[in-house]
């Protein structure tokens, strides 16, 4: 039985840049970083999401399709006010895929953008209804 979401793993090409990006843009902090002969990994935590982490993986040696085995379509972040968040992140240099957010039938507002490794990221403002 599932208790919670543990982590999401993202394949990255530049570990230092990716750690810096997720820290400066979204407030994640580095919990641990390690490597073996073939792979470097970093686990990022966030004070507002105890028990959930973002795992960053960088191949040091080309693997036989490890990064192709699983696909994560996007990583979404909840925001309180999407218009304020869009303005904040635009000022930090994020280019969104659209000029404004989309609104779902239940009132949830969303907008997509790319992270530093072209990973698809999303901001979500949940509807109060």
Domain boundaries, the chain: 1-62, 72-129
- 11 forms beta bridges with 57
Give the strands of the sheet with 120-125, arranged side by side: 75-78, 120-125, 109-114, 102-103
Q: Contact, 43 vs 34, CB < 8 A?
A: no
State the burial class of residue 120 (Cβ atoms within 10 Å of its Cβ: 0-12, 13-18, 19+): middle
* CB environment 64-85: b (16+ within 10 A), e (fewer): eeeeeeeeeeeeebebeebeeb
Q: What is the pLDDT of residue 53?
A: 93
Answer whether CATH 3.10.180.10 is correct for domain 72-129.
yes
Task: Quote the percentage of the chain above a pLDDT of 90.
Answer: 64
**CB burial readout 34-63, b (16+ within 10 A) else e:** eeeeeeebbbbbbeeeeeebbbbbbeeeee
Radius of gyration of the chain (CA): 16
- For 1-62, which CATH class? alpha beta
Per-residue pLDDT, 61: 85
Share the mean pLDDT of the chain. 89
- The residues near 81 (Cβ < 8 Å, ≥ 6 apart) are 125
How many Å separate Cα 124 from the centre of its chain? 12
Local confidence band at 114 (pLDDT 50, 70, 90 cut-offs):
very high
pTM of the model: 0.81
Topology agreement, domain 1-62 and domain 72-129: yes
């Amino acid at each position: 039985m599932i208790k919670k979401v543990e982590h999401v793993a993202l394949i990255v090409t530049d570990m230092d840049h990716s750690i810096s990006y997720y820290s400066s843009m979204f407030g994640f902090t580095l919990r641990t970083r390690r490597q073996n002969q073939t792979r470097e990994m970093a686990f990022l935590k966030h004070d507002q999401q105890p028990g959930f982490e973002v795992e960053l993986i960088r191949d040091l040696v080309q693997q036989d399709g490890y990064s192709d085995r699983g696909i994560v379509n996007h990583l979404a972040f909840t925001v309180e006010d999407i218009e304020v968040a869009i303005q904040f992140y635009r000022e930090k240099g994020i280019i969104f895929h659209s000029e404004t957010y989309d609104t779902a039938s239940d009132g949830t507002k969303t907008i997509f953008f790319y992270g530093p490794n072209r990973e698809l990221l999303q901001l979500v403002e949940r509807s109060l209804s």
